[in-house]
Amino acid sequence: MKKIIAFLFLFQISFGQINPEEVATAENEFETNFFDALKEKAIENHDKAIIALQKCLLKEPSNPEIHYQLGVNYLAQKKYIEAENEFQKAVDLAPKQRWYWNGLYDVHYQTKAYEKAIVIVEKLVTFDANMKEDLASLYMNTQQFEKARIVINEIESKGTLTKAMESYQMQIQSMQKGTKLNVNDLVEAIKNNPKVEQNYIDLIYLYSSNNQENKAFETALLLEKELPNSDLVHVSLVKFHINVNDIPKATASYKRVVKSSKIDLKIKQRVLNEYLIFATKNPQLLTEIDNTLTFFDNTVGMDVHKELGKFFYNKNNFDLAQKYMEQSKENDIEAIDLLLNIYDFNKEFEKMAKKSEAYIDLFPTKANLYYYAGKGNNNLKNYNKAKDFLEMGIDYVIDDPNLEAGFCKQFIICADGLSDTKMKQTYQKRLDVISKK
């Protein structure tokens, strides 16, 4: 699970400073530069974002999140070497953070360095078993068919195969029989029997694999004409219509896919993600997404509101992130962590205090819930209440210097509010010790 609170604290701690005023100055400078970087990245001013992040790097050269954000901006500029270097630094500094590995994967995939991508995805599978589909696809692209077969069998042993995985499985089986699928055979099969949907799907896949997108699109249109009731064709049509910025047709195909009872959940998720990226460039389409969320509500194993919240969080759109996260399923600790983090960014301290307090009984050993309860009440000037939560929670902090430092800072704020000089001195000393490590 992504460690949400690390993102918050990474710009809250300035190492090696002892004087509290100097600490505050350094923190403010770091925080200002970091927020400037997020702002510039969000409006695609990647050069300015990189400059701001490089200033942050002067303060904290070993901060993995800064390297990761640099990688994201370089990748957006298609500066693949620089992006790879920064993502690699982030991975080296924090090898348990899956998103840093994802950055490397994105570089290798976009540059079609599939062998390198395989190495990364083999690592990502240990974080998320759903990445096995990516691994199978990469094995197919590099013609490692036996490895692909093993992975597909593993996926099938855990549940139903998606249409894409079924297609791979059929290709492998055909090759094992010495009858590898090819374009000419499929074209002929469609001529002889134009009502067999799978032939069109296989042909679209082959054209797409060979970067013949125009022919893939023509095949999809032919399938739509011959089998107008086919839902599966719209999986391809969504992407084609998005690529030419045809909003009405892209929207119609998107709705057809998500409403279909015949299409696998994984495929629906992929189409939702494609349309969501399209909608960020055409904000009026967010209403279309909202209107289709009910088709995901009863889906086992998927919280679509949470996924949308995470998407907009990663896009630094905290208002939309808050909107969707507030509708996510309750009792999901990752969603709770993320929502509290969003409240902090949006300075929704009353909501932050109320939400964190409500979940402490359910997750009594989650230290960050006490932190947010303390910080929320400090900002509401409920200093005695903040003190109680901070004192209850700090003992649950284990091997997390960032969170421990965050508690100390809240104790110092609380001490100022209560005019408690002894408490302030105690936690300032503790913060100084952490900062020197």
pLDDT of 9 reads 40
For the chain, what is the mean pLDDT? 84
Assigned fold of 1-124: 1.25.40
Rounded distance, CA 369 to CA 340, Å?
Answer: 8
Residue 432 has pLDDT above 80, yes or no: yes
pLDDT of 357 reads 93
Rounded distance, CA 382 to CA 357, Å?
Answer: 13
Q: Check residues 322 and 154 and name the one with the higher pLDDT.
A: 322
What average pLDDT does this structure show over 354-363?
91
In this prediction the pTM is 0.54
Least confident among 96-110, 190-204, 314-328, 362-376: 190-204
What average pLDDT does this structure show over 303-321?
88
> Do 1-124 and 347-437 have matching folds?
yes
DSSP label at residue 129: G
pLDDT digits (tens, 9 = 90+) for 29-83: 888 888 888 888 888 889 999 999 999 999 889 999 999 999 999 999 999 999 9
What average pLDDT does this structure show over 102-113?
89
pLDDT of 299 reads 54
Residue 6 has pLDDT above 70, yes or no: no
CA angle 212, 258, 312 (to 5 degrees): 90
pLDDT of 2 reads 33
Q: Check residues 343 and 11 and name the one with the higher pLDDT.
A: 343
pLDDT of 328 reads 86
Residue 267: exposure state from Cβ atoms within 10 A (0-12, 13-18, ≥19): middle
Packed helices 265-281 and 163-176: angle between N→C axes, nearest 10 degrees: 120
Assigned fold of 347-437: 1.25.40
What average pLDDT does this structure show over 81-91?
92
pLDDT of 74 reads 93
> What DSSP string runs through 246-288?
-HHHHHHHHHHHHH-SSS-HHHHHHHHHHHHHHHHHSGGGHHH
Distances in Å between the Cα of 382 and the Cα atoms of 38, 377, 405 are 31, 5, 21
pLDDT digits (tens, 9 = 90+) for 233-272: 898 899 899 989 999 999 999 999 988 877 777 778 888 8
Q: How confident is the model at residue 180 (pLDDT cuts 50, 70, 90)?
A: low
pLDDT digits (tens, 9 = 90+) for 192-210: 888 878 788 888 888 887 8
The position carrying tokens 């057809």 is: 256
Q: Where are the domains of the chain?
A: 1-124, 347-437
pLDDT digits (tens, 9 = 90+) for 390-431: 999 999 998 888 999 999 999 999 999 999 999 999 999 999
Query: For residues 204 and 216, is the Cβ–Cβ distance under 8 A?
Result: yes
